[in-house]
Amino acid sequence: MRFGTMTGIEYDDFLDLEYEPAATDLTCEFTIDPAADMSMEAAASRVASESSNGTWAALHVDEDELKDLGAVACEIDGSEITVAYPAALFEAGSMPQILSCIAGNILGMKAVDSIRLEDCHWPESIVSGFLGPQFGTSVANEKLDAGERPVLATVPKPKVGLSTAAHAEIGEEAWLGGVDLLKDDENLTDQEFNPFEDRLTESLAARDRAQEATGERKDYLVNVTAETTEMLERVDLVAEHGGGFVMVDVITAGWAAVQSVRKRCEEHGLAIHAHRAMHAAFDRLEHHGVSMRVIAQIARLCGVDHIHTGTAGLGKLANEDTPGINEWLTGECHGLTPVLPVASGGLHPGVVDQLLEALGTDIIVQAGGGIHGHPDGTHAGAKALRQSVDASMAGESLEDYADDHPELATALEKWGAE
């Protein structure tokens, strides 16, 4: 590579616009806005330097020992730059170590007014260090009976405050009405009003009754998120009590913890549902941070089976339309199992046809308020959601289908069919 000046290793040594990334490199695309006194070239070389093995001062070291570990800023296209990292820079299977390089100090450098990690291209040597998903999209039929339709999930509302009994009862109503999965809300873990183990056992008992009554497999995404040792104990409890899934809030828990949960879930054959609270701290700003696309890639490598990716603009949350994200989650990546995307946030039966049109049917459709806010309650709300999916799968308009499906008719009256 380009080291070898008499003055030591300097920023310039990390820029080489002639360099063609090797198949073994981790290639990252950033959008940058250089500081006022900086050219694109100067800023790009500083990004490559600080995120690999350079620093602000020229270093006088044995260059031969270091030359294979420097990143190269190898392309500048408008405000977009590409940086190629040699795989040897990274510890196999450590997501924290990789992120400390490619999404670390550089996000706060004075050399750039803003910088956003937009996309990564992962080489096989790095991918093979991670477990990846255990089940991924196959949960729809390996653990549930969704067939060709999307998997349906619900999260009881209010988010917190329901007693254990009320929570399990709402779950049972929703399962009986036609959803496959009950999910805890992100801020429900192990509080006094609804302790973890009580909720787990009562909800799984309700699940068993609903399975018996409907003849369909159902399951519970119980939120195990906690300090890591505690979280792993909760994972063990889920297995002990016969659950098939756990839910982890992956960003607040941290990727190292997610990797630990993934290993433990392998022992028990449990699938991992990834909620992504706090992702907007990284991906909401258009010009700074880390894109949801990269967060989804990280989640897949770390081994989650489902992850929330937004609702194609049809829901309640901003910044939820990341083009190509679901394709990346399900596309080929050195043999990684595909992840099932979850559409959630402000969904109701009236938007399901458009949602499936936009995102396809290999997804989880999750609704909280859009089920429990139904004028006739949770059971009717779950039926209405399932009816809207059945109508969409059959290619019928929601309004026509509602003619002889009263629960859907009421939902459309309440929220409209957009």
- Respond yes or no: is residue 275 known to be catalytic: yes
Least gap, CB of 308 to ligand CAP (angstroms): 3
Count of residues binding Mg ion (CB under 5 A)? 2
Task: Assign 83 to helix, strand or coil.
Answer: strand
Say whether 159 counts as a known binding-site residue.
yes
**How many whole angstroms separate alpha carbon 204 and alpha carbon 242?**
8
275, 306, 372, 379: the catalytic one is 275
Would residue 157 show up in a list of annotated catalytic residues for this protein? yes
Q: Residue 320, interface with ligand CAP (CB under 6 A)?
A: yes
Burial class (CB in 10 A: 0-12, 13-18, 19+), 62: exposed
What is the rounded CA–CA span in Å between residue 207 and residue 168?
9
- Smallest distance from the beta carbon of 152 to ligand CAP, in angstroms? 12
Beta carbon nearer to ligand CAP, 84 or 155: 155
C-alpha 372/C-alpha 351 separation (Å) is 16
Residue 263 binding: pick among ligand CAP, Mg ion, none (C-beta 5-8 Å cut-off by kind) = none
Does the footprint of ligand CAP cover residue 185 (CB under 6 A)?
Answer: yes
- The Cα 378–Cα 169 span in angstroms is 10
Output the smallest distance, CB 313 to ligand CAP, in A.
11
Q: How far is the CB of 40 from Mg ion (least distance, A)?
A: 41
CB of 319 to ligand CAP, least distance (A): 9
369 is in an annotated binding site: yes
Give 171-209 as a DSSP string: HHHHHHHT-SEEE--TT-SSBTTB-HHHHHHHHHHHHHH
CA dist 176 and 307 (Å) reads 25
From the list Mg ion, ligand CAP, none, partner contacted by residue 358 (C-beta under 5 to 8 A by kind): none
> In the numeric block, which tokens belong to residue 222?
């119980």
Closest residue by Cα to residue 383 from 238, 193, 174: 174
Q: Does 249 bind Mg ion (CB under 5 A)?
A: no
Question: Rounded distance, CA 321 to CA 317, Å?
Answer: 10
Question: What is the C-alpha separation between 22 and 13, in angstroms, rounded?
Answer: 18
CA pair distance 127, 379, nearest whole angstrom: 43
Structure tokens at 57: 């001062």
Tokens matching residue 136? 């991924």
The H-or-E segment that residue 162 falls in is none
Contact string (CB under 6 A) for ligand CAP, positions 341-380, x = contact: ---xxxx-------------------xxxx----------
Binding-residue pattern over the window 114 to 153 for ligand CAP, x denoting contact by CB under 6 A: ----------------------------------------
Stretch that binds Mg ion, among 11-19, 161-169, 184-192, 355-363 (CB under 5 A): 184-192
* Interface ranges with Mg ion (CB under 5 A): 185-186
Q: Which residues are catalytic?
A: 157, 275
* Interface ranges with ligand CAP (CB under 6 A): 155, 157, 159, 185-186, 276, 308, 310, 316-317, 320, 344-347, 367-370
Annotated binding-site members for Mg(2+): 183, 185-186
